[in-house]
């Protein structure tokens, strides 16, 4: 990975306790350049300080994580977001992902894993939890052919390749990227590119299963 | 038999078999030749055939000859009574009986066992409980009925032939029932008890799996928390409750029960139970969903067992449970990153894998695979075909 310097992190969470906990867990491996406990303040500070990675709570006063993404990404697409959520229910997270976050992790994640996720997002890759991988498999279920014709889907965006499916299946089974790579005898880099391509589909596809979450406002 | 024929004649065994099959289909001659060959050819590993032994069996032959007067008497009596037809079948019956006796006397040990096992019950059934004279009486009564019936049927005048032959047939049928009835009964009894034994064995296997899932797992947990008296008491209480509800209310321990109607709900139950009982995080991912069937319940029970195993033995603080429901199959993975084990070194008497996981799934037509190595964690893969499609 291309970490010439420590990633500069911005924390957005309405619980001071949690922010302190994350700070302590990440320790000296990252540089925390700011914190915010609600959406408006977060947008203002992030646009001003331009961190590498924003750790973003999904459930946030003032419009949720989506509001922050909406206020930052159009102006500064280089700022990358990693969503954090207490529940790992995909419906909580899918809207944030579609708004531009590069992945999500649950708040129960260990310090090491969180750090790994931060580095991954910083490097431009996607972070998929097993639960998210499972959800994507579910949402993109239905094979090529009949389905495509019936639902008028774009095979480029609305379908997973067999390889992507394999990768997601292993992630859903709890494999790390490294273990996925070993199991499929491909490089970790290839696994990362498959996951990134799935992330792109997840963000851009117009499949009903995905747009449903974006329009439902039951998150906040 | 065909093998024997081919070794004596030097013809390929397959050819002999085909020839027999063709002959049998064409005219039934094949069966006759087969029977003859059985008599004439020595059994593999023996140097004399049944026939060659029979011919040298002086005592046997004397015995057969000794019965001749008896038959002559029967023929004479029949002639005196003007039932001439008796004479026409007495000789074949005599020859057949004599031959059967010689064959039995000279059959090899193996064949004797077969003959005794299959044919003798015809004559001996019920002998253990009833004195022998009862059997003799039964056979005699049967014979009287049968002969009477035959004579009524055939010796009649032309006028009322239909009634006579009907009555005769009834008498013959009665005779057959009297003679063979007990044997048929005992056959049916054997069949029934065999089926019962099989059901019993299956029941035992299921019970063993249940006991393993609940009691043995709890005992293992108690041993591991021996220095925490409160935890020990809690485990013992919970186990006692569960055991009581199983023994007296018929609720199975270690099963999903009726709390769940679909696979996803069942997996939620597993997650709750294992996280509650074992203090380990269960990471659940379910793709798709479908209603539970018996087979899928077994699949869930097995995966619950695999999860409990991981929680108890792996030493890991998290287990991953992944289920994918596809149109024709449900696949389930239980994975931990704990200490792992060498699957080949597991003793045979360990119930967990053999019965609770493999047996359970196999009984319903599914399959189980376990991948593990010391230090590399364990992954259990379970799959169950979905026979009843529920779209």
Q: Which residue of B has its CA nearest to A133?
A: B285
- pLDDT of A61 above 60: yes
pLDDT score recorded for residue B242: 74
pLDDT score recorded for residue A98: 86
CB spacing of A172 vs B322 below 8 angstroms = yes
- pLDDT of B306 above 80: yes
End-to-end CA distance of chain A: 35
pLDDT score recorded for residue B390: 44
Dump the DSSP string for B275-313: HHHH--EEEEEEES--B--HHHHHHHHHHHHHHHHIIII
pLDDT score recorded for residue B230: 77
Q: Which residue of A has its CA nearest to B333?
A: A173
Q: Are B125 and B183 in contact (CB under 8 A)?
A: yes
How far away is chain A from the Cα of B7, in angstroms, using its nearest Cα? 55
Q: Which residues in chain A have Cβ-Cβ distances shorter than 8 Å to B282?
A: none
How many angstroms separate the CA atoms of B125 and B132, rounded? 10
- pLDDT of A54 above 90: yes
Of the given ranges (A165-169, B52-56, B141-145, B375-379), which has the lowest mean pLDDT?
B52-56
Do the domain assignments include residue B128?
no
Q: Does B281 touch chain A (CB under 8 A)?
A: yes
Q: Which residue of A has its CA nearest to B323?
A: A173
Do the domain assignments include residue B265?
yes
Higher per-residue pLDDT: A143 or A100: A100
Of the given ranges (A9-13, A82-86, A205-209, B115-119), which has the lowest mean pLDDT?
B115-119
- pLDDT of B352 above 70: no
Q: Which residues in chain A have Cβ-Cβ distances shorter than 8 Å to B335?
A: 173-174
How many angstroms separate the CA atoms of A66 and A100, rounded? 9
pLDDT score recorded for residue A103: 86
For chain B, give the mean pLDDT: 74
Tokens 């004397």 -> residue: B62
CB spacing of B324 vs A137 below 8 angstroms = yes
How far away is chain B from the Cα of A2, in angstroms, using its nearest Cα? 29
Domains of chain A: 8-126 (3.40.50.2300), 132-215 (1.10.10.10)
pLDDT score recorded for residue A163: 92
Higher per-residue pLDDT: A178 or B13: A178
CB spacing of B320 vs A174 below 8 angstroms = yes
Higher per-residue pLDDT: A140 or A80: A80
Distances (CA, A) of B121 to A4, B128, B183, B185, B369: 92, 11, 6, 11, 47
Higher per-residue pLDDT: A208 or B293: B293
Q: Name the pLDDT band for A219 (thresholds 50, 70, 90).
A: very low
How many angstroms separate the CA atoms of B312 and A97, rounded? 37
Report B:196-255 residues touching A (Cβ under 8 A): none
- pLDDT of B130 above 70: no
How far away is chain B from the Cα of A8, in angstroms, using its nearest Cα? 30
Interface contacts (A, B; CB < 8 Å): 36
Q: Report the CATH number that the domain containing residue B391 is assigned in CATH.
A: 3.30.565.10
Q: Which residues in chain B have Cβ-Cβ distances shorter than 8 Å to A137?
A: 287, 324
Q: What mean pLDDT do residues B258-277 have?
A: 81
Q: What mean pLDDT do residues B185-205 have?
A: 84
Higher per-residue pLDDT: A152 or A130: A130
Higher per-residue pLDDT: B253 or A183: A183
- pLDDT of B278 above 70: yes
- pLDDT of A141 above 80: no
pLDDT score recorded for residue A112: 86
Instruction: Report strand pairing: A53-57 vs B281-287.
Output: unpaired
At B170-183, the pLDDT tens digits run 777 777 777 777 77
Q: Name the pLDDT band for A184 (thresholds 50, 70, 90).
A: very high
- pLDDT of B338 above 50: yes
* Structural domain for B348, as ranges: 260-391
Q: Which residues in chain A have Cβ-Cβ distances shorter than 8 Å to B287?
A: 134, 137-138, 141, 172
CB spacing of B320 vs A130 below 8 angstroms = yes
How far away is chain A from the Cα of B331, in angstroms, using its nearest Cα? 11
- pLDDT of A51 above 90: yes
pTM of the model: 0.55
Q: What mean pLDDT do residues A194-217 have?
A: 75
Do the domain assignments include residue B270?
yes
- pLDDT of B389 above 50: no
CB spacing of B333 vs A130 below 8 angstroms = no
Q: Which residues in chain B have Cβ-Cβ distances shorter than 8 Å to A141?
A: 287-288
- pLDDT of B127 above 60: no
- pLDDT of B123 above 90: no
Highest average pLDDT, of A132-136, B122-126, B214-218, comes from A132-136
pLDDT score recorded for residue A220: 31
Do the domain assignments include residue B165?
no
Do the domain assignments include residue B36?
no
Of the given ranges (A179-183, B103-107, B312-316, B362-366), which has the lowest mean pLDDT?
B103-107
Q: Which residues in chain A have Cβ-Cβ distances shorter than 8 Å to B338?
A: none
Q: Which residue of A has its CA nearest to B327?
A: A142
Q: What mean pLDDT do residues B209-224 have?
A: 77
Q: What mean pLDDT do residues B102-117 have?
A: 65
Number of domains in chain B: 1
How far away is chain A from the Cα of B284, in angstroms, using its nearest Cα? 7
Give the three-class secondary structure for B153.
helix
The DSSP code for A36 is: E
Distance of CA B340 to the CA centre of its chain: 38
Q: Which residue of B has its CA nearest to A173?
A: B322
Closest by Cα among B11, B12, B13 to B2: B13
The two tokens of residue B254 are 């270690």
- Phi first, then psi, for residue A108 (nearest 5°) are -85, 0
Q: Name the pLDDT band for B334 (thresholds 50, 70, 90).
A: very high
Do the domain assignments include residue B320?
yes
Give the three-class secondary structure for A214.
helix
pLDDT score recorded for residue A185: 92
The two tokens of residue B237 are 């209480």
pLDDT score recorded for residue A129: 83
Strand order in the sheet with B281-287: B281-287, B318-325, B329-336, B378-385, B367-372
Tokens 């996607």 -> residue: A126
Q: Does B341 touch chain A (CB under 8 A)?
A: no
Picking from B283, B287, B333, the nearest residue to A137 by CB comes out as B287
CB spacing of B379 vs A141 below 8 angstroms = no
Q: Does B179 touch chain A (CB under 8 A)?
A: no
Do the domain assignments include residue B364?
yes
With a CB cutoff of 8 Å and minimum separation 6, the contacts of A150 are: none
Do the domain assignments include residue B368?
yes
Q: Name the pLDDT band for B391 (thresholds 50, 70, 90).
A: very low
Of the given ranges (A10-24, A137-151, A181-195, B229-243), which has the lowest mean pLDDT?
A137-151
CB spacing of B322 vs A137 below 8 angstroms = no
Higher per-residue pLDDT: A63 or B195: B195
Q: Name the pLDDT band for B333 (thresholds 50, 70, 90).
A: very high
How far away is chain A from the Cα of B333, in angstroms, using its nearest Cα? 7
How far away is chain A from the Cα of B320, in angstroms, using its nearest Cα? 6
Picking from A137, A138, A174, the nearest residue to B283 by CB comes out as A174
CB spacing of B379 vs A173 below 8 angstroms = yes
Q: Which residues in chain B have Cβ-Cβ distances shorter than 8 Å to A112?
A: none
At A89-113, the pLDDT tens digits run 666 678 888 888 998 888 778 888 8
ipTM here: 0.72
């Amino acid at each position: 990975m291309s970490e010439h310097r420590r990633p500069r992190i911005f924390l957005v969470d309405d619980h001071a306790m949690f922010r302190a906990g994350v700070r302590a867990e990440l320790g000296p491996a990252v540089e925390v350049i700011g914190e915010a406990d609600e959406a408006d303040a977060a947008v203002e500070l992030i646009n001003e300080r331009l961190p590498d990675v924003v750790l973003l709570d999904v459930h946030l006063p003032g419009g949720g994580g989506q509001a922050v993404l909406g206020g930052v990404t159009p102006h500064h697409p280089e700022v990358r977001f990693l969503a954090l959520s207490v529940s790992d229910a995909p419906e909580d997270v899918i809207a944030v992902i579609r708004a531009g976050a590069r992945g999500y992790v649950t708040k129960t994640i260990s310090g090491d894993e969180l750090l790994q996720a931060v580095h991954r997002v910083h490097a431009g890759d996607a972070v998929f939890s097993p639960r998210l991988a499972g959800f994507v498999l579910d949402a993109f279920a239905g094979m090529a052919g009949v389905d495509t014709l019936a639902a008028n889907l774009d095979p480029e965006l609305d379908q997973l390749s067999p390889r992507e499916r394999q990768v997601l299946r292993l992630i859903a089974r709890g494999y790390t990227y490294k273990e996925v790579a070993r199991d499929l005898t491909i490089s970790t880099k290839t696994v990362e590119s498959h996951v990134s391509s799935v992330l792109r589909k997840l963000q851009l596809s117009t499949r009903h299963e995905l747009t449903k979450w974006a329009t439902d406002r039951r998150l906040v | 038999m065909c093998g024997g024929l081919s070794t004596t004649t030097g013809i390929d065994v397959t050819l002999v078999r085909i020839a027999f099959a063709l002959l049998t289909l064409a005219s039934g001659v094949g069966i006759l030749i087969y029977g003859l060959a059985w008599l004439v050819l020595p059994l593999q590993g023996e140097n004399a055939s049944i026939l060659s032994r029979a011919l040298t069996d002086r005592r046997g032959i004397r015995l057969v000859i000794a019965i001749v007067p008896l038959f002559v008497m029967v023929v004479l009596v029949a002639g005196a009574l003007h039932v001439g037809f008796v004479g026409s079948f007495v000789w074949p019956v005599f020859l057949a009986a004599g031959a059967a006796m010689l064959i039995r006397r000279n059959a090899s040990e193996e064949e004797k066992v077969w003959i005794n096992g299959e044919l003798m019950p015809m004559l001996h059934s019920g002998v253990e409980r009833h004195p022998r004279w009862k059997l003799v009486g039964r056979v005699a009564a049967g014979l009287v009925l049968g002969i009477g019936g035959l004579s009524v049927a055939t010796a009649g005048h032309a006028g009322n032939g239909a009634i006579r032959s009907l009555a005769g047939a009834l008498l013959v049928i009665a005779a057959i029932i009297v003679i063979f009835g007990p044997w048929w009964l005992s056959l049916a009894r054997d069949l029934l008890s065999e089926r019962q034994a099989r059901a019993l064995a299956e029941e035992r296997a299921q019970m063993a799996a249940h006991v393993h899932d609940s009691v043995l797992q709890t005992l293992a947990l108690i041993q591991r928390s021996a220095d925490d008296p409160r935890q020990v008491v809690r485990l013992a209480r919970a186990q006692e409750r569960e055991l009581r509800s199983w023994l007296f209310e018929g609720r199975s321990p270690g099963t999903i029960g009726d709390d769940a109607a679909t696979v996803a709900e069942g997996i939620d139950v597993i997650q709750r139970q294992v996280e509650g009982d074992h203090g380990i995080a269960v990471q659940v991912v379910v793709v798709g969903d479908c209603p539970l069937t018996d087979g899928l319940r077994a699949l869930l029970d097995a995966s619950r067992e695999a999860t409990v195993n991981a929680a108890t033995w792996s030493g890991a603080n998290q287990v991953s449970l992944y289920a994918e429901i596809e149109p024709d199959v449900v696949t389930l993975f239980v994975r931990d990153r704990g200490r792992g084990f060498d699957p080949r070194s597991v003793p045979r008497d360990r119930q967990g894998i053999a019965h609770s996981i493999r047996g359970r799934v196999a009984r319903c037509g599914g399959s189980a695979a376990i991948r593990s190595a010391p230090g590399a964690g364990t992954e259990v893969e379970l799959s169950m075909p979905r026979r009843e499609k529920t779209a």
